Structure 1
Amino acid sequence: MTNQRAATALIIGGGVGGPVAAAALARVDVEPVVLEAHSGPADQLGAFLTLAPNGLAALRAVGMVERVRAAASFATTRTEFVNGAGRRLGLLGDESHLPPELRSVTITRAALQRAVTEAATDQGVRFEYDKRLRGYAEEGAQVTATFDDGTDAAGDVLLGADGIHSAVRDGLSPDGPHPTYTGLLGIGGFVPAADIPPTPPETVRMVFGSRAFFGYQCAPDGRTFWFANLGHSERSREEIAAHGDEAWRAHALDLFDGDLPELTRIMEAADPAQFRPLGTYDLPSLPRWHRGRVGILGDAAHAVSPSSGQGASLALEDALELARQLSRHDPAAALAAYESARRDRVERIAAVGRRRGTQKAGSSHPVALAVRDVSMRIAFTLIGRFGSQRWITDYRPDVADASRGRS
Structure 2
Amino acid sequence: MGTVTSAIVIGGGIAGPVAALALQKAGIAVTVHEAHDGFADGVGGALSIAPNGRTALAAVDADHVIERVGQPMSGMVMQSWTGKRLAEFGTFDDLPAMQLVWRHELYRALYDEAVGRGIRITHGKRLVSLTGGVAGFADGTTAEADVVIGADGIRSTVRRLIDPGAPAPRYVGLLGFGARCDGDGIAPTGDKMHLVFGKRAFFGYQVTGTGEGGWFVNLPSRDPSYGAGFTPAEWLPVLAEAFTGDRIPAVELIRRTDPKDLVVTGGLEDIPSVPVWHRDRAVLIGDAAHPTSPSSGQGASLAAESAVQLARCLRDLPLPQAFSAYEALRRARVERVIAAAARTNSDKAAGPVARVLRDALMPVAMRLLANPEKFRWQFDHPIDWPAPVRALA
The TM-score bracket by the shorter chain reads over 0.9
Give the secondary structure class of the aligned counterpart of 2:18. Answer: helix
Deviation, 1:151, is 1.0
Q: Is the 8 A contact 2:75 2:191 kept in 1?
A: yes
Q: Which moved more, 1:187-196 or 1:102-111?
A: 187-196
User: What percentage of residue pairs aligned between the two structures are identical?
Assistant: 39
* Distance 1:252-1:325 versus aligned 2 partners, 3 A rule: same
Question: Separation in 2 of the partners of 1:266 and 1:203?
Answer: 17
Which residue of the partner structure matches residue 363 of structure 2? 377
Matched, 1:401 2:393: no
* Distance 1:244-1:253 versus aligned 2 partners, 3 A rule: same
Which residue of the partner structure matches residue 192 of structure 1? 182
Per-residue CA deviation, residues 164-213 of structure 1 (Å, 9 max, x unaligned), is 111101101112200000000011111133542111x2100001011110
Q: Which moved more, 1:242-251 or 1:390-399?
A: 242-251
Which residue of the partner structure matches residue 93 of structure 2? 96
Equivalent residues in 2 for 1:205-220 (5 A)? 205-220=194-209
Deviation, 1:91, is 0.3
Task: Note the residue ranges of structure 1 that are not aligned, 5 or more in a row.
Answer: none
Deviation, 1:327, is 1.4
Q: Which one of the candidate residues 345, 350, 373 is aligned to 2:338?
A: 350
Which residue of the partner structure matches residue 181 of structure 1? 171
Equivalent residues in 2 for 1:250-329 (5 A)? 250-273=237-260, 274=262, 276=264, 278-329=266-317
Which residue of the partner structure matches residue 147 of structure 2? 157
Question: Separation in 2 of the partners of 1:269 and 1:386?
Answer: 34
Give the secondary structure class of the aligned counterpart of 1:359. Answer: helix
Which residue of the partner structure matches residue 224 of structure 1? 213
Give the secondary structure class of the aligned counterpart of 2:144. Answer: strand
Q: Which one of the candidate residues 110, 113, 119 is aligned to 2:113?
A: 119
Which residue of the partner structure matches residue 63 of structure 2? 65
Which amino acid is 1:372 matched to? R
Which residue of the partner structure matches residue 81 of structure 2? 84
Q: Is the 8 A contact 2:46 2:178 kept in 1?
A: no
Deviation, 1:339, is 1.1
TM-score by length of 2: 0.93
* Distance 1:402-1:129 versus aligned 2 partners, 3 A rule: farther
* Distance 1:299-1:394 versus aligned 2 partners, 3 A rule: same
Which amino acid is 2:220 matched to? G
* Distance 1:158-1:175 versus aligned 2 partners, 3 A rule: same
Q: Is the 8 A contact 2:306 2:330 kept in 1?
A: yes
Question: Separation in 1 of the partners of 2:339 and 2:207?
Answer: 30
Task: Note the residue ranges of structure 2 that are not aligned, 5 or more in a row.
Answer: none
Q: Which moved more, 1:213-222 or 1:55-64?
A: 213-222
Which residue of the partner structure matches residue 72 of structure 2? 75
Per-residue CA deviation, residues 208-228 of structure 1 (Å, 9 max, x unaligned), is 011110000013442211000
Which residue of the partner structure matches residue 227 of structure 2? 240
Which residue of the partner structure matches residue 389 of structure 1? 375
Q: Which one of the candidate residues 335, 349, 352 is aligned to 1:361?
A: 349
Per-residue CA deviation, residues 362-394 of structure 1 (Å, 9 max, x unaligned), is 5434xx545323533333333333611100000
Q: Which moved more, 1:382-391 or 1:243-252?
A: 243-252
Which residue of the partner structure matches residue 133 of structure 1? 127
Deviation, 1:129, is 1.7
Deviation, 1:66, is 1.1
Per-residue CA deviation, residues 13-38 of structure 1 (Å, 9 max, x unaligned), is 11111111111111222111111112
Per-residue CA deviation, residues 290-316 of structure 1 (Å, 9 max, x unaligned), is 111100010011110111110000000
Q: Is the 8 A contact 1:131 1:148 kept in 2?
A: yes
Deviation, 1:281, is 0.3
Question: Separation in 1 of the partners of 2:180 and 2:2?
Answer: 50
Give the secondary structure class of the aligned counterpart of 1:401. Answer: coil
Question: Separation in 1 of the partners of 2:66 and 2:224?
Answer: 34
Per-residue CA deviation, residues 37-62 of structure 1 (Å, 9 max, x unaligned), is 12344112141111000000011111
Which amino acid is 1:378 matched to? V
* Distance 1:97-1:373 versus aligned 2 partners, 3 A rule: farther
Per-residue CA deviation, residues 236-260 of structure 1 (Å, 9 max, x unaligned), is 4xx6342444443332222211102
Question: Separation in 2 of the partners of 1:376 and 1:32?
Answer: 49
Q: Is the 8 A contact 2:53 2:301 kept in 1?
A: yes
Per-residue CA deviation, residues 63-105 of structure 1 (Å, 9 max, x unaligned), is 1111221111x1112000000000111100233333xxx1001
Deviation, 1:122, is 2.6
Give the secondary structure class of the aligned counterpart of 2:77. Answer: strand
TM-score by length of 1: 0.90
Question: Separation in 1 of the partners of 2:365 and 2:42?
Answer: 38
Q: Is the 8 A contact 1:213 1:362 kept in 2?
A: no
Q: Which one of the candidate residues 11, 14, 17 is aligned to 1:16?
A: 14
